[in-house]
A and B are shown apart, each in its own frame.
Chain A
Amino acid sequence: MADETFPEADLRVAESPTRMERLAAVRPRLLSFARLHLRDNALAEDAVQEAMMAAIEKDASFAGRSGYETWVFGILKYKILDVMRYQKRQGRLQPLEDESDDDAIDRQFQENGRWQEHARPASWGEPDRVFESERFWQVFDACMIALPDNTARVFSLRELMGLSTEEICRELEIRENNCWVILHRARLRLRACLEQGWLKEVTP
């Protein structure tokens, strides 16, 4: 990892206290993002710590083209990928083929491939309204955490980090076809979970 001391960076930060404050303010959100990916508190704390240190160290290279928080967030993404690569080298990621149970699909469809009555998707309303709802995000987090590890990992690489399925295949060394199957399952699980946990509460 990077050097542990950044005397120059410390000086710069002292000159720009607001950025330091912004960094501190964004920390909880960085942490919850890292948790969603790494699914381990200690690892998430470490990744965020490293990203924040790197942000301080590279403060001068922040070009101001994007928001500062977004820039820090970009650094965190690389750190998370580093951790995942490291885990993979250590053989600590389970092979992705394990979760071939089709529970998510079985529960929502009848044998003939039609929706089960209880699982028929309902309207969630206008996306912009949905995104404004704090409750939606709480349930979203909870549903992400409820996903099986590997399913969550692939989903978050795709939808939260915005990697293409091709890139995900390269990262995780899986076939693209497998990736699509996992994403399909993840989306079905998430939609069912969100509908249960969120919609039922807003429209009693």
Chain B
Amino acid sequence: MMMMCQGATRLMSLKQDRRLTFQERLSLRLHLSMCGACRQCDRQFTLLHRAGERFEADLGDGTDDHESSATGPDRRE
């Protein structure tokens, strides 16, 4: 059965947190190829993800070397 927008947003969120399975990637890509609203939502989730990064980077003083600070390997892409 075709995945609906609600299910697609679940995968969009999930992909910010873990690697999607092949099956998940495929059905998300298929849905996004047909749904403009979901493409926007996907961008928004990614932007929210980057916003957190940004929030932290803003505290730094421009030396862009703020990674690897406290929290271990699985930080961000």
Which residues of A sit under 8 angstroms from B72, Cβ to Cβ? 164, 167
| Chain B interface SS verdict (over half) | helix
Given A66-B66, A109-B5, A113-B4: A164 in contact with B60 (beta carbons within 8 A): no
0/1 string, B16-46, CB within 8 A of A gives 1: 1110000000000000000001101101111
- C-alpha gap A130/B47 in the complex (Å): 9
**Which listed residue (A26, A114, A183) contacts B17, Cβ 8 A?**
A183
CB distance from B77 to the nearest CB of A (A): 11
B residues near A123, Cβ cutoff 8 Å: 40, 43
Q: Are A66 and B60 in contact (CB under 8 A)?
A: yes
A113 touches B5 (CB 8 A): yes
Say yes or no: is A88 at the interface (Cβ < 8 Å to chain B).
no
Distance, CA A17 to CA B58, complexed state (A):
22
Which residues of A lie under 8 Å from residue B58 when comparing CB positions?
29
Q: Given known contacts A113-B7, A127-B47, A180-B14, is B59 in contact with A29 (CB within 8 Å)?
A: yes
Would B59 and A165 count as touching, CB distance under 8 A?
no
Question: Secondary structure of the A side of the interface?
Answer: helix
Q: Is the CB of B59 within 8 A of A77?
A: no
Question: Which A residue sits closest to B74, measured CB to CB?
Answer: A164
Given known A-B contacts A77-B71, A165-B17, A165-B18, A67 and B63 have beta carbons under 8 A apart: yes
Residues of chain A within 8 A of B76, CB atoms compared: 162
Taking the complex as formed, is A200 at the interface, i.e. its CB lies under 8 A from any CB of chain B? no
Q: Does A145 sit at the interface, judged by CB under 8 A? A: no
Pick the contact of B43: A26, A124, A166, A183 (CB < 8 A): A124
A166-B75 Cα distance, complex, nearest whole Å? 12
**Contact mask A107-124 → B, CB, 8 Å, 1/0?**
001001111000011111
B55 neighbours in A (Cβ, 8 Å): 33, 160
Residues of B within 8 A of A33 (CB): 55, 59
B52 and A105 form a contact (CB under 8 A): no
Interface string of A165-195 (1 = CB under 8 A from B): 1110000000000011001100110110011
Which residue of the partner chain A has the closest CB to B13? A184
Q: A68-B61, A122-B40 are in contact. Are A77 and B4 (CB under 8 A)?
A: no
Name the A residues within 8 Å of B40 (CB-CB). 120-124
Proximity string of chain A (29-42) to chain B, C-beta cutoff 8 Å, 1 when within and 0 when not:
11001000000000
Residue of B nearest to A160 (CB): B52
The distance from the CB of B65 to the nearest CB of chain A, in whole angstroms, is 5
How many Å from the CB of A41 to the closest CB on chain B?
19
> Which chain B residues have a beta carbon within 8 Å of chain A's beta carbons?
4-7, 9-10, 13-14, 16-18, 37-38, 40-41, 43-56, 58-63, 65-66, 69-72, 74-76
